Amino acid sequence: MDYSVIAQYFPKLLEGVGTTVELVLVSGLIGTLLAIPLGIARHEKNIWIRALPYAYIFFFRGTPLLVQIFLVYYGMAQFEAVRESALWPYLREPYWCAIIAFSLNTAAYSAEILRGALDSIPKGEVEAAQVLGMRKPLIYRRIKLPRAFAVMLPAYGNEIILMLKGSALASTITLLDLTGMARTIIARTYTPIEIFLSAGVIYLLLSVVIIWVFRIVEKRLNPQQSVKIA
Amino acid sequence: MTFKKAFAAAMVVATASVGASFAQAGDKLRIATEGAWAPFNFIDASGKPRGFDVDIANALCEKMQAECTIVTQDWDGLIPGLKVKKFDAIVASMSITEDRLKQVDFTDPYYTGGLRYVAAKGSKFDTSRAALKGKVIGAQRATVAGQYLEDNLDGVVDIKLYDNNDAVYLDLKAGRLDGALSDELPTYEWLKSDTAKGFEYKGPAFAKDDKIGIAVRKGDELRQRMNKALQEILADGTYDVINAQYFPFSIY
Amino acid sequence: MIELQGFGDQLLAGTLVTIELALASLLVGLVLGIAGASAKLSDNRIARSIANAYTTCIRGIPELLTVLIIYFGATTVLMAVASQFGYDEYIEISPFAAGVTALGLTFGAYATEVFRGAIQAIPGGQREAGQALGMGRMQIFLRLIMPQMWRLALPGLGNLFLVLLKDTALVSVIGLEDIMRKANVAVGFTKEPFLFYLLAAFIYLSLTIVTMVLVHYLEKRANRGLERGI
C-alpha cells in the first residue's frame, strides 16, 4: 500500500464526491415525484390503470442499470430525431443522461415500495374515511399517502443507498463522480487498490450518513411507534 | 458447532471458486490487448481479437517459440493487470511514456504514431490553443491523447474522457463533441468506414515521435527475448507483410 | 428483420457466461449468507462483529468498486498470505473467479440478513422441542431450522438473485465475456448502440422472467405442507 498516493489525491477524490451527492439528490427527488403516481396506479384495482406502470416497472427492475444508462446516453443519441429535438441540449449532456437513467430507475423501485406500503394500510382506516364522506383524492392525501410514507421509510432509505451505489456507473459515461475521479487518478498513478479502497471508504461514509438521516426522520415521523416499543 | 462448520464450508467453497491455479512461468505467455483500437486491435464478429497488434504478437511468439494466449482487457486495467501478473505482456499500441516507464518496462518500439484532431467536415475547427477555447473535446482515458489534453489544455477546452475509443467516435457522431483527439492511425482506419462519413482530420499530426512499445513487468527478461524476436521479424520481412495488410505505407 | 451483423451468436455465448456467473455466485453467496447469519446469531462476540463488518462494508460500497477491488487486489492479498506459508509462486485469479468472488460476497451480505430474519421467525419453542427430544445442535439446525428457513427465506432470496443477475453486467469491466461485454464489442464494431443495448436489455428481461417462474415454483413447493396443514 502506498499511502502517499492516497494523501496526494484525496482532495481530488473529494471533488468527485460533490458530483456523486448531487446525482443522488437530484435523481432521488425526481424519482420520488415519479414514483408517487406510479405507486398509486399500481395500488389501484383497475387493470387498465395498473398495466402500463407495471410494464414500466418491470422493464426498469428487470434490466441492469448499466444497460439503461447506455441506452439513454449512446442509444438515444443515435437517432436524428432525438438530436434535432428540443430536448437535445439536455440529452447531449452526460450529466442529464445520468439523471434521467437514475431517476427512471429509482422511480420504478420506489413505486413498488410505495405500492407495498399502500397495500399494507388496514382496510378499516380507509372505510372509516369513506364513512366520513371523504372522496378518493382526499383519502389518498389525508390518510393513505401519509401512512404509506411512514411505513415505507426504512425500505426507501435502503433504496437511496442502492442508488448511491448505482451512481458509480455515471463514470462510464464520462462523468467525474467519485468513481470517475478515482479511475482518472488511477490512469496517472496506476495504483488501483489504494485509490479504489479510498473511494470505497468514502462511499461507506456516505451511506452511513444516509442511514443516520433516515433514522432521524423515522423517529420524527413515527414517534408513536418508538413510544410503543419503549 | 453450527457456525464453525458453516464457516469452514464457506471457506472451502470460496477458495475453490477462486480457482487459484498455480501457474508456472514457462514458455506459456499471456498477452493482453484492448480490443477496441481498430485496426491495431479489435474483436471480430466471432469474438476473436484481431488486428496489427495481434498479428505482431503472434509473430513474436512464433519466433520466441512460446505458446501465447491473447486476452482482452479494458484499457485502463492493462497496466494494473500487468503489474499484478494477470498477463505477461501488453501488445496494445501502448505509447512509451515517462509516466508508464515508472510502472513497467518497454521493448524497443514496434511502430511510431502521432496525435491528430478529428471533427466534422466543414466545421470551423482550428487547432490553435486560442481557437480551441471552450470547445468540447473527447479522448480516451489514460491515453497519450487524453493526457495531452489534461496537461496542455486543461481549463481551455472541456475535456471528456471515455473508457474506449469506440465510445469517442459514437459521441463524435452524436454531436456531443466538437472534436476528438486521438492517435492518427486508428483515426485513419475509422475515417475509411461508413460511420465516419462527414468527418475529417483537422490540422496536422503532432507529437509524432510517439513510440509504441510492448509493455512487460519491470526487470522481466521477457523484454530481451521480445526485442530479439522483433529484430528477427523486421529482418525477415514478416513485419512488412503484416504492415501491408493494414496500411499502404510503413508505420515502423 | 433485425440485422445483427453476425453478433447474434456472440450475444448467445455471452448469455451463457452470464448464467454461469450468476449460478456460481449464487452458490458462494448462499454459503456466505448462511455463515453470516449463523455468525450474527451466535453467542460469540468476535463472530458477530466480523459478520457485522462484512455486511456493513459490502452494503455500503458500490458493486462496481467491489468488483474492481477484488480483481486488482485479491491477487496481491492472496500472494501475501501464501508467502507467509513459504509459497512464493504466482497465484492467478481469473476474471471469472474474481467476478464470482465479488458477486458472491455481495449476495452473501444481503442474504445474511434474509437468513437471519428467517431463522428468527422460527418460534423458539421448536428449538426447545428438539432439545427435549434429545437432538443435538447440528441436528436441530439441519432437521428443524433449515427446512423451515428455506421456506421463509425464499422470497427474499429470489429478489436477491434478480439483483445478482443484473449485477453480473458489472463484471464486463474486468473483461469477462458476458452479455454486456458482448454488446459493447458489437456496438464498437457496428456503431449501433441502440439496437445492441436494447437487445441486451431484453435478454436480461427474459432471464428475469425465467427466474421469477422458477422462484414461484420453488415457493409453491416449499409451502405445500403448509397449505395442507392450514
> Of the CATH numbers 3.90.180.10, 3.40.190.10, 3.40.50.300, 1.10.150.120, which one belongs to the domain with range B26-112+211-246?
3.40.190.10
Instruction: Give yes or no for B44 touching C (CB within 8 A).
Output: yes
What single-letter amino acid sits at C83? S
**Closest residue in chain C to residue A192, using alpha carbons only:** C72
- Average pLDDT on A181-210 reads 92
Phi-psi region of A87 (alpha: psi -120 to 50; beta: other; left: phi over 0): alpha
Helix, strand, or coil here: B134?
coil
Which residues of C fall within a CB distance of 8 Å from A182?
Answer: 65
Do residues B191 and B132 touch, judged by C-beta distance below 8 A? Answer: no
Contact A77 B163 (CB under 8 A): no
Per-domain boundaries in chain B? 26-112+211-246, 113-209
**Closest residue in chain B to residue C190, using alpha carbons only:** B195
Chain A closest-CA separation from residue C63 CA (Å) = 7
pLDDT for res C228? 52
What single-letter amino acid sits at B78? L
Q: Do B26-112+211-246 and B113-209 agree at the fold level? A: yes
CA distances from A104 to A65, A84, B130 (A): 10, 23, 41
* Beta-strand pair B179-183/B89-95: unpaired
Contact C64 A65 (CB under 8 A): no
DSSP 8-state symbol, B91:
E
**Is pLDDT above 50 for A226?**
no
Q: What is the DSSP string of A179-221?
A: HHHHHHHHHHH--HHHHHHHHHHHHHHHHHHHHHHHHHHHHHH
Rounded (5°) CA angle B111-B115-B117: 145
Contact B18 C182 (CB under 8 A): no
Contact C137 B2 (CB under 8 A): yes
Query: Which residues span the domain enclosing A9?
Result: 3-229
Grid cell in block for residue A158: 435502503
Per the DSSP assignment, residues forming a β-bridge with B181 are B117
Q: In CATH, what number is assigned to the domain containing residue A190?
A: 1.10.3720.10
Do residues B43 and B35 touch, judged by C-beta distance below 8 A? Answer: yes
**Is pLDDT above 90 for C174?**
no
Do residues B183 and B93 touch, judged by C-beta distance below 8 A? Answer: yes
H/E stretch holding B27: none
Side-chain-side CA neighbours of A222 within 13 Å: the count stands at: 17
CB within 8 Å of A55: residues ≥ 6 apart: none
Q: Rounded mean pLDDT of chain A?
A: 91
pLDDT for res B13? 46
Grid cell in block for residue C55: 455486511
What is the distance, to the nearest Å, from the Cα of residue C194 to the centroid of all Cα atoms in its chain? Answer: 29
Side-chain-side CA neighbours of A7 within 13 Å: the count stands at: 4
Q: What is the DSSP string of C143-187?
A: IIIHHHHHHHHHHHHHHHHHHHHHHGGGGGGGT--SHHHHHHHHH
Q: pLDDT tens, position by position, for chain B (252 residues)?
A: 454 555 455 444 444 444 333 333 457 899 999 998 989 999 988 889 999 999 999 999 999 999 999 998 889 889 988 988 889 999 999 999 998 999 999 999 999 999 999 999 989 899 999 999 999 999 999 899 999 999 999 999 999 999 899 999 999 999 999 999 999 999 999 999 888 999 999 999 999 889 999 999 999 999 999 999 999 999 999 999 999 999 999 999
Burial C39-49 (b: 16+ CB within 10 A, else e): bbbbeeeebee
**Closest residue in chain B to residue A187, using alpha carbons only:** B142
Per-residue pLDDT reduced to its tens digit, A108-148: 999 999 999 999 999 999 999 999 999 999 999 999 999 99
Do residues B129 and B117 touch, judged by C-beta distance below 8 A? Answer: no
Phi-psi region of B53 (alpha: psi -120 to 50; beta: other; left: phi over 0): alpha
CA distances from B33 to B43, C11, C134 (A): 10, 21, 63
Give the nearest partner residue to B3 out of C44, C74, C173, using CB atoms. Answer: C44
Do residues C64 and C173 touch, judged by C-beta distance below 8 A? Answer: yes
What is the distance, to the nearest Å, from the Cα of residue A49 to the centroid of all Cα atoms in its chain? Answer: 24
CA distances from C106 to A112, B181, C115 (A): 23, 39, 14
Which residues of C fall within a CB distance of 8 Å from A77?
Answer: 193
Which residues of C fall within a CB distance of 8 Å from B170?
Answer: 187, 191, 193
DSSP 8-state symbol, C42:
S
What single-letter amino acid sits at A67? V
Per-residue pLDDT reduced to its tens digit, C68-123: 999 888 877 787 788 788 776 667 778 899 999 999 999 999 999 999 999 999 88
CB within 8 Å of B189: residues ≥ 6 apart: B38, B39, B246
Which of C74, C79, C49 lies closest to A196, judged by CA?
Answer: C74
Give the nearest partner residue to A75 out of C166, C198, C208, using CB atoms. Answer: C198
pLDDT for res B16? 44
Helix B222-235, helix B52-64: angle, nearest 10: 100
H/E stretch holding B245: helix B238-246
- Average pLDDT on A51-59 reads 94
pLDDT for res B12? 47
What is the distance, to the nearest Å, from the Cα of residue B242 to the centroid of all Cα atoms in its chain? Answer: 18
Complex confidence, ipTM: 0.88
Question: What is the total count of domains within chain A?
Answer: 1
Please say whether the structural domain B113-209 has been given the CATH code 3.40.190.10.
Answer: yes
CA distances from B145 to A189, B162, C114 (A): 17, 11, 49
**Is pLDDT above 70 for A228?**
no
Which of A156, A179, A201 lies closest to C60, judged by CA?
Answer: A201
Which residues of B fall within a CB distance of 8 Å from C24?
Answer: 17
pLDDT for res A224? 63
Distance CA A180, CA A13 (A): 9
Side-chain-side CA neighbours of A123 within 13 Å: the count stands at: 0
What is the distance, to the nearest Å, from the Cα of residue C97 to the centroid of all Cα atoms in its chain? Answer: 13
Which residues of C fall within a CB distance of 8 Å from B2?
Answer: 38, 42, 137-138, 141
Helix, strand, or coil here: C14?
helix
Rounded (5°) CA angle B32-B95-B240: 80
Give the nearest partner residue to B80 out of C72, C89, C94, using CB atoms. Answer: C72
Per the DSSP assignment, residues forming a β-bridge with B119 are B200
CB within 8 Å of C11: residues ≥ 6 apart: C4, C179, C182, C183, C186, C196, C199, C200, C203
Contact C180 A74 (CB under 8 A): no
pLDDT class of C229 with cuts at 50, 70, 90: very low
- Average pLDDT on C12-34 reads 96
Do residues A96 and A24 touch, judged by C-beta distance below 8 A? Answer: no
What single-letter amino acid sits at B63? K
**Closest residue in chain A to residue C66, using alpha carbons only:** A200
Strands (E) located in chain B: 28-33, 36-37, 41-43, 49-50, 67-72, 89-95, 105-106, 111-120, 136-140, 158-162, 179-183, 199-216
Helix C193-222, helix C146-167: angle, nearest 10: 180
Give the nearest partner residue to A203 out of C62, C168, C172, using CB atoms. Answer: C62
Do residues B110 and B53 touch, judged by C-beta distance below 8 A? Answer: no
Per-residue pLDDT reduced to its tens digit, B117-161: 999 998 989 999 999 999 999 999 989 999 999 999 999 999 999
Domains assigned to chain C? 8-222 (1.10.3720.10)
What single-letter amino acid sits at C48? R
Chain A closest-CA separation from residue C225 CA (Å) = 26
